[in-house]
Amino acid sequence: MNLEKLMFKKISLWILIFTIVLSILFSILFGSLVLRSKTAKTIAMIPQNVKELLLKSDDDFVRGDKNSFKNRSGLIKNSKFKSDLRGFILLSRYDHDERRSFVELISIDKNRVIHTWKPNIKKINSLSNLPKNFINVERDNSPNRYRMFHPYLNSDGSLITHSESPLIKINICSELEWVIDGGFHHSNEKDFEGNFWIPSWSFPINTKGINLDINESDISQNMNFFHDDEIVKISSEGKILFKKTIISILRENGLESLIFPTGENKDPLHLNDIQPVIKDTQYWKKGDVFISLRNISMVFLYRPSENKILWYSQGPWVFQHDVDIINETEISVFDNNLDNFTKSRVDGSSSVVIFDFKTNEFRRPFDKAFVDNNAHTLTGGLHALLKNGDVFVELTDSGRLMRVDKKGNIKWEYINRASNNNIYLLNWSRYYENLDEKILNSINNKSCD
């Protein structure tokens, strides 16, 4: 029988119906196996993973349209006063031309990059043993996707950073000094003892009694695991000194009802900043930490030595980031100011909220300045209040840094616009009004191959 006769051979209706029914039953059986078997899930996700590898490009790091900020680019100095232009930016950004993120130290008054850190990402990833269903470092933190989050600059010119991935320390020549395997994310802050407080995802998951079913369709966004946030204290030598999950802190302080306010969620809290207390006052002590939880719009003061939440507030900020201590009685919070209902857009502009523990009052001194300058970011964002009353802000999703006063005057700004005219992502930068001479000496005297 030749192929043509075989293809057009008549078949009985009952055979056709039987074949269709059998196919349906097989599909149901396969679906059941996918839900039960990790191997079957892996096979079923092959097309999705291939799609992610082939289609994801640096366009994923584009922020804003080409006409944003009237086509301004790079560092723009607006003030004529030297005092407004002194200082340095530790700039962490994605670079379109090099197809990667790196860190630059920029002198503002000279408008010059004085040092750059570009670590070997492949080597960093090769030292991680994290399972791919937790963090797929080869895919999500490949050289063209790795983000150097909130780098902390030490006096010897070394950096501590991560990319929602293992925590690393690199020296002034970008060589790896140590690595801690894990899911570290968001802020990196130093305490009064020289140790670092850094958010992380607990692995293995420490949360008990919660349905941890995952949605494989979320794998493209690296959200296919339960975000069991924990605070971690790490020595400058890379040793873990303390860690505790946020859920356990809330439970043990009688605040369990805040964990899942709208039902189960794989990221119910979203820890995004740990700010260590470095000086005793009437309202906090050295060793305490302020903690920011985005998804429940909550900031709280925690004393690890007593496992005690001393104070907390949900709002008036909405989906906030970055809590700072500004004096003996006040803290400031970067308020992303998302729409209260959908949480999918900024409600006008972002801002900064100051809370005074002494008067129990909130104030928002930069609202007009932010509105006038179209200052907003849906996610990310950080700030630092300066001695003269100005504020430094990173608008992460806008690819923009700026120093602005309360009247809305921009003293200087940086816009991460590339040669193709697109604006690209920032990764939580820092501004220094003054820089330690030891750091400048380390940079000037460096000897790198």
**pLDDT value at 8 more than 70:** no
Do residues 324 and 331 lie in contact, with contact meaning Cβ atoms separated by under 8 Å?
A: yes
pLDDT value at residue 96: 93
Q: What is the average per-residue pLDDT within 177-192?
A: 97
From 6-10, 310-314, 440-444, the region with the lowest mean pLDDT: 6-10
Residue 228 lies in a domain: yes
Residue 44 pLDDT greater than 60, yes or no: no
- Model confidence band, residue 20 (pLDDT cutoffs 50, 70, 90): confident
* pLDDT at residue 173 in the model: 97
CATH code (residue 59): 2.120.10.30
What is the pLDDT at residue 7?
Answer: 47
Q: Is residue 195 part of a domain?
A: yes
- The number of distinct structural domains making up the chain is 1
Q: In what order do the strands lie in the sheet with 361-363?
A: 321-325, 330-335, 351-356, 361-363
Q: What is the pLDDT of residues 51-97, one digit of tens each?
A: 444 444 566 777 666 668 888 999 999 999 999 999 999 999 999 99
Q: What value does the mean pLDDT of the chain take? A: 87
Where is mean pLDDT largest: 25-29, 169-173, 220-224, 340-344?
169-173
Domain holding 341, by residue range, is 3-444
- Residue 277: CB partners within 8 Å, gap ≥ 6? 191, 192, 284, 285, 286, 287, 288, 289, 290, 325
Nearest to 227 by CA among 262, 201, 190: 201
Output helix, strand, coil percentages for the chain, rounded to the nearest 5.
25, 30, 45
Give the model's pLDDT for residue 66: 66
Mean pLDDT on 159-170: 97
Query: For residue 218, what pLDDT band results from cuts at 50, 70 and 90?
Result: very low
Q: What percent of the chain has pLDDT over 90?
A: 71
DSSP letters spanning 187-241: --EE-TTS-EEEEEE-SS----SS-----GGGGGGT--S---EEEEEE-TTS-EE
CA atoms within 13 A on the CB side of 104: 18
C-alpha–C-alpha distance, residues 269 and 260, integer Å: 8
Which one is predicted more confidently, 215 or 371? 371
Of 385, 188, 195, give the one whose Cα is nearest residue 273. Answer: 188
Q: Which range has the worst mean pLDDT, 37-51, 137-151, 153-167, 342-356? A: 37-51
CA distance 271 to 294: 6
pLDDT at residue 217 greater than cutoff 70: no
Q: SS3 for 274? A: strand
User: Quick one: pLDDT at residue 61?
Assistant: 75
pLDDT of residue 43: 52
* CB of 49 closer than 8 Å to CB of 219: yes
What pLDDT is recorded for position 214? 44
Query: How far is the C-alpha of 178 from the C-alpha of 176, rounded, in Å?
Result: 6
Residue 449 lies in a domain: no
pLDDT at 39 over 60: no
What is the model's pLDDT at position 24? Answer: 72
